[in-house]
Chains A and B, each alone.
Chain A
Amino acid sequence: MVKYGMVIDLNRCIGCRSCAVICKIHNSLPPGTWWHRVETVGSKEHQVSTGEFPNLSEVYLPVPCMHCENPPCVKVCPVGATWKREDGVVLVDFERCIGCRYCMTACPYGVRQFNWQDSDESFEKGFKATGFEEGFVEGYRHGYPVDHRTKDGRLVYTPKRPRGVVEKCTFCVQYIDQGLKPACVRGCPGNARIFGDLDDPNSEISQVLRDKGYIKLLEDMGTDPKVFYIPPMRKKNRGAVKYSAEIEGGV
């Protein structure tokens, strides 16, 4: 059985937020809705270091849905609209969700997003705010253009999101069901992400998890996330500029 997971190497993350943006584009996220966030740990502003000079730290932490093995959101959903598929991906059925938002209360990572208004209206508002009347191109909506349903027919992706339902990161279910990788994995300029089958011992992700030390977010809550982080290793000479021997000698 396939069990999907993701590794994010924080040593490689440059905090560019490409993952969050490409997620927004590919999944046609309405303005104000973010399935993926990247923040600088401990800092009010992104990409501003924290601490006192010279002991500064600037760790970027990208956070998609953790696709927990023990997902609290699935447990609390009164109608079973959110569920964990056999491949371990936690999905939301847009046609069953009643919009009670109990899952948003249950999720300790704050990844769940609600459609507070009609997405047409929020897009219009977004374009107006940036000085466009209709959109960049009239009638065009960015994102994967067609609905995606699971094998048992449940609607888990639709470009025009219905109002009043909860949505969240799906590991790009419309792509992984076609054997492609999630958009954030493909769009990461630093190649910080590995996506693959945790049950296959020969997959790249399994090998990386075997070889390297990793952490899971809020591990003691028992949610058992399937997104793993390789913590930043370099502590020595952090922030120092190292020149090659020739240049050092020349100076």
Chain B
Amino acid sequence: MSSNSSTGYKIGLLILVAIAIAGISAWVYQIQTGLIVTNMRNSFSWGLYIAMWAFFVGTAAGGLVVSSAIYIFGAKEFKPIAPVASSTAFIFAVGAMVMILPDLGRIDRIFNMFLYPNFSSILPWDLIVLTTYALLSAIYTYVLLMPRIAEKGVLGLLKKDLDGDELKKLQLKSERYAKILAPIALPFAILIHTVTAWVLATQLSRPWWYGGLLAPTFIAAAIATGPAVVILACLFVFGYEERLKNAYKLLAKISASSSAALLFMYYNDFVVRYWWGEGLDFEALAIVFRDYLHIHTLEITFILASIVLLASAKTKSRLIAGSISVNLGVFFHRFLLMPPSYNIFPFKMDGWSYPIAVGELRGSLMNPLLVFVDYWNYIPSSIEITITAGIVAILTLVLIGLLRILPVEGDSNV
């Protein structure tokens, strides 16, 4: 980590710490005041937090891609980066669960999820698969690092004095355990995206989500963003090393082809919705082009740019630009999950939507605002944005800390 002591890096860390503190303060303020500080209301009851939850579940896919590529497809070039990849998987699986917390009205009752789980709801299942995946990723990271931890220690602890023979044995053990763990983790890695998608896709009341296509697009978005996150984390740890060039290239290719698959499925769905020209499915699509064309343009531009950049990324700057681009694109893609689903609602008669009470007294006696609305122009409030940015900053800081503490850097042990 040669560049890690540079001024730029330190300034970057300071900025992250500042954002994290701002985010925590905003969260404390939100807990004190209530979710009224968000711009969500009764007719638009999930917003940025839920979009970010879906986003983080996607970015946690990196661990899966790398470990399955090694043990199922025999991609040996990934071996040196496997611990970094599984660390990102752990951080973002935990991050997805953390992201739900600010969305809860009664965070103090979160233990009810364990006391009274209702298994006909998809949410407890999502909690189960996310927890399992996070745990497996943590164990997997540890297993991969066992020999190096024994050699170098973690924060000066856990260091063992091993002779050559014992170290060799430990390396074989690590290898064996990793081979057992990878296929166990794989189904969970697929399930986290699938089950998260099902939370939304099972809702007949939300024609923008309902249907079988949401889970495949979630997996495509995950395999597009996951490797991009791994690329960024590895560039941070190792830099653009000669021996890793092939690994980077392959990760970038995986991301680019998955982005292409995502766009294909997305527009395939658009055509199906568009053709009939009537009905709720069509209206949800129409809202995207009528009211959210700017966000749609952003998502498509960034995802397309990332495909171009990552399809054959031969330089460090291309890798960085492409990886950031795909994450931005998928972030806008995630945000666009919300507006068409809340503003198009089945309680309609001849094109007229039955309005919903906002949930807040707005305006004044002489200038009253609508009590019942059939459309809610949701733009995240500054508090929502600050909390979300704070969580992103904290996750990044924890990831950086983890990558610095753990001996992920050492030479490949095989």
Contact = CB atoms under 8 A, between A and B. Distances in A.
A11 interface: no
B155 to A, nearest CB: 36
Contacts of A100: 100, 103-105, 123
Given A76-B121, A79-B113, A108-B205, A114 B361 contact: no
B96 to A, nearest CB: 14
A117 B118 contact: no
Interface residues of A, number: 54
A32 B371 contact: yes
A101 B35 CA distance: 11
A97 B109 contact: yes
A102 interface: yes
Interface in B386-404: none
A78 B356 contact: no
A97 B35 contact: no
B46 A110 contact: no
B352 interface: yes
Contacts of A80: 116-118
A24 to B, nearest CB: 10
Contacts of A43: 352
Contacts of B103: 100-101
A37 B110 contact: no
Contacts of B88: none
Given A105-B205, A108-B347, A61 B354 contact: yes
B360 A98 contact: no
Interface in B32-89: 33-36, 38, 40-43, 45-46
- Secondary structure type dominating chain A contacts: loop
Contacts of B107: 98
Interface residues of B, number: 56
A107 B356 CA distance: 12
B34 A115 contact: yes
A113 interface: yes
Instruction: Tell me the interface secondary structure of chain B in the complex.
Output: loop
Nearest to B202: A76
A104 B349 CA distance: 20
A166 B104 CA distance: 11
Given A101-B105, A108-B345, A32 B365 contact: no
B364 A129 contact: yes
Given A80-B116, A115-B34, A104 B364 contact: no
A191 B107 CA distance: 43
A20 to B, nearest CB: 10
A142 interface: no
Interface in B105-125: 105-107, 109-110, 112-113, 115-118, 120-124
Contacts of B113: 78-79, 98
B103 to A, nearest CB: 7
A116 B121 contact: no
Contact of A113 (B104, B117, B357): B357
A39 B355 contact: yes
Contact of B105 (A76, A77, A131, A164): A164
Contacts of A163: 34, 105
A106 B205 contact: yes
A116 B372 contact: no
B352 A42 contact: yes
Nearest to A123: B361
26 contacts: A31-B360, A32-B360, A33-B357, A34-B371, A39-B355, A76-B203, A77-B121, A78-B121, A79-B116, A80-B118, A96-B112, A98-B113, A99-B35, A99-B104, A100-B104, A101-B46, A101-B105, A105-B46, A107-B205, A109-B347, A112-B42, A114-B45, A116-B41, A122-B361, A125-B361, A166-B105
The 4 closest A-B pairs by CB, nearest first: A99-B105, A164-B105, A78-B123, A117-B36
Given A79-B117, A113-B42, 20 more contacts: A31-B361, A32-B357, A32-B362, A32-B371, A34-B372, A77-B118, A97-B109, A98-B104, A98-B107, A98-B109, A99-B35, A101-B105, A105-B45, A106-B203, A110-B354, A114-B35, A114-B45, A117-B34, A129-B363, A164-B106
